[in-house]
Amino acid sequence: MIEKMPILGYNGIMKKYLREEEMFLILISFWATVLLTRAVVFYFFRHFSFVPMFVVNGIQIHHYIVGLVLVLICSAIYFLPRGNIKRSFFHLLFLGIGYGLVFDELSLWANNNDNYWAVENFVSISLFGFVLLVFYYISKKQYKFVLNPKRKVHKNPEHPYVSVIIPAYNEEEFISRTLLSLLSQDDPNFEIIVVDNNSTDKTAEIARKYGAKVINEEKQGIIFTRQRGFKEAKGEIIATTDADTILPSRWISTISKNFKKKDKLVLFGGLCNFYSGPIFAKFNAYYFLYPYRIFDKIFAGGWTMSGANMAVRKTIFEKIGGFNTSLKSFEDVEISHRLMKAGETGIDPYLIVETSGRRFRHGFLHGVRPYAVNEAIRVFTNEKKFIHQPNERSEKSLWNKVFSFVPALSLFVCLFLLFYFSEPAISEAKQVKIVKQKAQNVVLNIERQQKDIKYYLGKIKISGIEKFIEGKKYFNIQE
């Protein structure tokens, strides 16, 4: 059994006062509940002239009562001291659903207003949705890095148990955080090797400043870079991460304990979250990466690791020939599959590193595309011709700044349209307008028909006179 870290997070290295992902889940579940509930009521009333409702022993149960119960239960769980209680996906989901059900009928039960589509309802829903949105943006601003290294400079030991390999190409903006998190490790028995892949910035200089051993690799590409670092490693265990990743303070000690505990363990790692990038990418990594890994384990026959958070036993790595340098990318996934056949693999879902979401800076779909294509290649083809992953050196994106407000605006517009087309006063006014338009069309049609009749009668009269005159001429009839 893999030994797990008892604390989720960074144990003093990183503190998150409010989780952006948690607020996002509550926000989207709130709006989805409101819009779905309103759409169902709208549809049934327009097509069947009745509204679906819960009835128990002849008593109608409004859905705000169900929502109130959900809010009370889920809020109690949310605000309890964390301890061993994790704020799970489902209880946050039901918290948002509860808020949606309550505020969907707020004015209905607060003011004894029987009009489900009253303006007060629209205002109460919109205001609460706006409050959730404000808390969501506050949670984004309160996300902070707190890096308190135990040592100013790392000293690589002569005989380290663990070697940490960091491939780097023009990473001066990010690599300091990675190295500071390594200086905060509670187990100092490891060496740091930064493999510089022809950087044109101060990457190598910064790495040497923190005591890392810097090696140059002329062949361009992360696979060559990682392979070179693994060959230079002195430790029995080789751990690797990326130059834009922040590691928990128990990263080295957790890796060491698990390899010492099981001699047959050849591959070990954890999960990866994003500390930047679009919220949808961060949300999916936070809630769905581990379930996906479990599914992949069933399909592949073992755990598949990420290069940002993985460790291998050096003897086994050398035995299987190291990385496949003919690949363009996905080297971590490919070597994971070969290591599965050489021994046991293990994962600790609580061993979480935080990495940059810069690969998703132009949007979640844009960032996930190369991963999805490579996954399809891995699953459906025998030839491992993976496509190249684009090099993203910056987290800045005008796209995200300009369009970040679009989802919230779209939800508001959808809700407004439902209210607009269902408000009785508006509906009656629209019906009157339609009736008037139909009546006007009928009058116009009658007038047009009358004109046509007069026209044809006139033609018939003229035609008859002309025939009479022609007949007189033919028979030579004198007046």
Q: Domain residue spans in the chain?
A: 18-141, 162-391, 423-479
Predicted confidence band of residue 20 (pLDDT cuts 50, 70, 90): confident
Q: Contact at 8 Å (CB) between 268 and 347?
A: yes
Max avg pLDDT among 113-117, 206-210, 368-372, 389-393: 206-210
Could you give the CA distance from residue 213 to residue 192 in angstroms, rounded to a whole number?
6
pLDDT interval class at 9 (50, 70, 90): very low
- The residue among 399, 364, 372 whose CA lies nearest residue 278 is 364
Domain 162-391, what fold?
Spore Coat Polysaccharide Biosynthesis Protein SpsA; Chain A (3.90.550)
Phi first, then psi: what are they for 234, rounded to 5°?
-100, -20
With 50 as the cut, is the pLDDT of residue 374 above it? yes
Query: For the residues 149-154, what does the mean pLDDT come to?
Result: 83
**Residue listed under structure tokens 């599914």:** 295
d(CA 136, CA 404): 13
Which among 141, 137, 132, 142 is positioned nearest to 28, based on CA atoms?
A: 132
Helices and strands in the chain: count of H runs, count of E runs: 16, 12
70 touches 96 (CB < 8 A): no
pLDDT in tens, 98-112: 999 999 888 777 766
Report phi then psi at 99, rounded to 5: -60, -40
pLDDT at 425 over 90: no
**Measured between alpha carbons, how far is 395 from 384 in angstroms, rounded to an integer?**
30
What's the burial of 220, exposed, middle or buried (CB within 10 Å: 0-12/13-18/19+)? exposed
The predicted-structure confidence for 243-296, as pLDDT tens digits, reads as follows 999 999 899 999 999 999 999 999 999 999 988 888 888 888 989 999 999 988
